[in-house]
Amino acid sequence: MNPVAARSGVTFEVEAKKARLPELEAAAAKEGFWKSPESAEALLKERKTLETFLSKWSGLERSLLDLRAYLDLYDESGDPSLEAEIDLHVEKVFRDLDEIELERMLSGDDDERNAILTIHAGAGGTESQDWAEMLLRMYMRFADRAGFEVELIERQEGEEAGIKSATILLSGDHPYGYLKAERGVHRLVRISPFDANKRRHTSFASVFVSPEIDDDVQIQINESDLKIDTLRSGGAGGQHVNKVESAVRISHVPSGITVLCQQERSQHKNKAMAMKILRSKLYELEMRQRAEKAAEAHKSKKDIAWGSQIRSYVLAPYRLVKDHRTGHETGNVDAVLDGDLMEFIRRYLLAGGAEEARGGAA
């Protein structure tokens, strides 16, 4: 058995991919290729994906050859000084393989789509609202690190501090593929900055992630199922804020999904964006329900409270961030809250969390 396949537990169909690439190149070179732009773009996208994979696979093969050369040299000489070099090459092989496996986990139908991420503060008033704002900053910082562009769609301020909710749109290279791993309840334990007695508090906030869908995805929405309200925008914004009812809130009664958009100065633009987000959330809900039905899973909505969290962030009495799905943890809490999330996401996806993220709850 191929040692790479043995280690990863999956097959990558390398030969099939190598055979497919010339077919795509020949098709792209045919006259009239661009007569059907949608088909042409789909073909070029597939070609790029194959080229990227095969390039990484060639790199992995080179790493394996280098490792074999050092192992042969060690067998011949018995020189113990080669052991450290061998360890470095073994680590590189595993890193290369993990990168290929991660790319495979980002090959879902929606993984390349932009991500709509919404944060809701849990019960607990100011404490949870402050925690929700910390999470918003964390994801904004993660977006900077990952090279994603971020657009703030809505932000509802808390009464004293923090936020009640916020929605951001992230675009770039596989935003939904990565951020679907963040869907769930996030728990914070810390000495409260709002408690004069300096007691330890536990706060919760939930994160929901949906793929931004294109107009070609058909989502049936009956106008009679919608409740549309206009209201004044809140937050920073000068004279326009709190004077004009430009914000739009759309509630989809059958599903209970509510979307608020207030960042645009035009009510028409806010309504269009709110409808776009609603379509994406309904699409994600439909995909999740299909996955649950296929797995014969019992559909239940997790409370934003004890026992339902996917990750805990502990600032006192010790410092630790732990993902309860993979067991991965780190004591560098400040780095995580500053957006260093990729290792948590990587561990989750490589552990096979993609299917859970598609069909999971929170």
Averaged pLDDT for residues 93-114: 84
Q: What is the pLDDT of residue 3?
A: 45
Q: What is the pLDDT of residue 360?
A: 39
Q: What is the pLDDT of residue 176?
A: 94
The DSSP H or E segment spanning 249 is strand 247-252
Q: What is the pLDDT of residue 165?
A: 93
Cα distance between residue 227 and residue 237, in whole Å = 26
User: Has residue 223 got a pLDDT over 90?
Assistant: no
Report which of residues 163 and 53 the model is more confident about: 163
| Burial class of residue 82 in the structure, from the number of CB atoms within 10 Å of its CB (0-12 exposed, 13-18 middle, 19+ buried) | middle
Mean pLDDT lowest among 112-121, 157-166, 221-230, 331-340: 221-230
- Tokens at residue 304, please? 């934003």
Core vs surface per residue 105-116: b (16+ CB within 10 A) or e: bbebebbbbbbb
Report the 10 Å Cβ neighbour count for 236.
8
User: Has residue 362 got a pLDDT over 50?
Assistant: no
Report which of residues 179 and 306 the model is more confident about: 179
Residues whose CB falls within 8 Å of the CB of residue 83, separated by 6 or more in sequence, listed in order = 74
Report which of residues 253 and 2 the model is more confident about: 253
Domains of the chain: 3-105 (1.20.58.410), 115-359 (3.30.70.1660)
Say if strands 226-231 and 200-211 run parallel, antiparallel, or are unpaired: unpaired
pLDDT tens, 171-182? 988 899 999 999
DSSP string for residues in 22-83? HHHHHHHHSTTGGGSHHHHHHHHHHHHHHHHHHHHHHHHHHHHHHHHHHHHHHHHH--TTHH
User: Has residue 354 got a pLDDT over 90?
Assistant: no
Percentage, residues of the chain above pLDDT 70: 85
Q: What is the pLDDT of residue 298?
A: 37
Mean pLDDT lowest among 104-118, 175-189, 224-238: 224-238
Coil vs helix vs strand at 121: strand
Q: To the nearest whole number, what is the mean pLDDT of the chain? A: 84
pLDDT tens, 244-286? 678 889 899 988 889 888 877 788 888 888 888 888 888 888 8
Averaged pLDDT for residues 226-238: 71
Q: What is the pLDDT of residue 96?
A: 86
Percentage, residues of the chain above pLDDT 90: 42
According to DSSP, the residues that pair with 322 across neighbouring strands are 312, 329
Cα distance between residue 165 and residue 116, in whole Å = 13
User: Has residue 345 got a pLDDT over 80?
Assistant: yes
Cα distance between residue 3 and residue 5, in whole Å = 5
- Tokens at residue 307, please? 């026992």
Averaged pLDDT for residues 148-158: 92
Q: What is the pLDDT of residue 197?
A: 85
Residues whose CB falls within 8 Å of the CB of residue 279, separated by 6 or more in sequence, listed in order = 213, 217, 219, 221
324 closest CA partner among 302, 354, 344: 344
Mean pLDDT lowest among 145-159, 178-192, 215-229, 325-339: 215-229
Q: What is the pLDDT of residue 5?
A: 45
Report which of residues 193 and 296 the model is more confident about: 193
| pTM of this structure | 0.70
pLDDT tens, 5-33? 444 445 678 899 899 999 999 999 999 99
User: Has residue 202 got a pLDDT over 70?
Assistant: yes
Q: What is the pLDDT of residue 69?
A: 92
State the Cα angle at 66 between 61 and 68, rounded to 5°.
95
